[in-house]
Each structure stands twice: as C-alpha cells, then as structure tokens.
C-alpha cells in the first residue's frame, strides 16, 4: 500500500518520445514506477507501511517511511516484532499475523471512509 502500482512502459520504443505530443505529455506525467527512488516525495498519497522486524527489506521500509514523513506525506508505519518476509501468509493463524491483518484492514476502512 505504500505506493501506486502504476508502471511506466519499458519497451525500446518507450525510451524515445512518441510522435503524438499528447501521448508524450501523458507519459511524462505518469507517476514514477518506484516512488522510493525519487528525491522529492512530496505530493504522494498517504501511505501505510508495515514490515517485520527481521524482514530483508526492513531498513529500506523504515527509511522510506521516514522520508515520506519528512516530505509531509501522511504515513502509518508498523514494525512487527519477530515478523519475517511473508510471516502473515506462512503462519496466518499466529497472533502476530492476525494483528497485522486487523491493523491493515482498519487502515483500509479509514482510508475508504475518508474517500467517500
């Protein structure tokens, strides 16, 4: 949920500006494929980021959440103690997985309620 899933075209043809100026402008305006790699994160939508404390990408997720916050983006961040990559799918019956799912669903409910 941290970022939009839109992808920029990556074909050889997409590396050259198209002949159609409207299409060219539309491609230029597309959000970045990986917002975390952008220098300026201001203007991104609110983010929900959760990560296990022993997950491979923990430090990157923590850094991204901090950068979003410094850029003025609303961030809800959760670090799940003892959680590893995919803990909620591998061991869905555990208290930790249930807490993570409950927290995610609560965030989604609040976000959807605010959007209507």
28 compared with 67, residue with greater pLDDT: 67
**Rounded CA separation 75/44 (Å):** 10
Cβ atoms of 80 and 52 closer than 8 Å: yes
| pLDDT for the residue 18 | 52
| pLDDT for the residue 110 | 95
**pLDDT one-digit tens code per residue, 82-105:** 999 999 999 999 999 999 999 999
Mean pLDDT of the 31-60 span: 88
| pLDDT for the residue 32 | 62
Looking at the chain, the whole-number percentage of residues with pLDDT higher than 70 is 76
């Amino acid at each position: 949920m941290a970022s939009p899933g839109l992808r920029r075209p990556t074909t050889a043809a997409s590396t050259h500006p198209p002949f159609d100026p409207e299409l060219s402008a539309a491609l230029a305006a597309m959000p970045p494929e990986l917002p975390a790699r952008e220098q300026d994160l201001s203007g991104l939508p609110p983010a929900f980021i959760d990560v296990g404390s022993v997950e491979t990408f923990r430090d990157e997720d923590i850094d991204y959440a901090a950068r979003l916050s410094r850029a003025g983006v609303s961030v809800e961040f959760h670090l799940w103690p003892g959680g590893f990559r995919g803990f909620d799918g591998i061991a869905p019956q555990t208290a930790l997985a249930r807490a993570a799912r409950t927290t995610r669903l609560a965030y989604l409910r609040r976000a959807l309620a605010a959007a209507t």
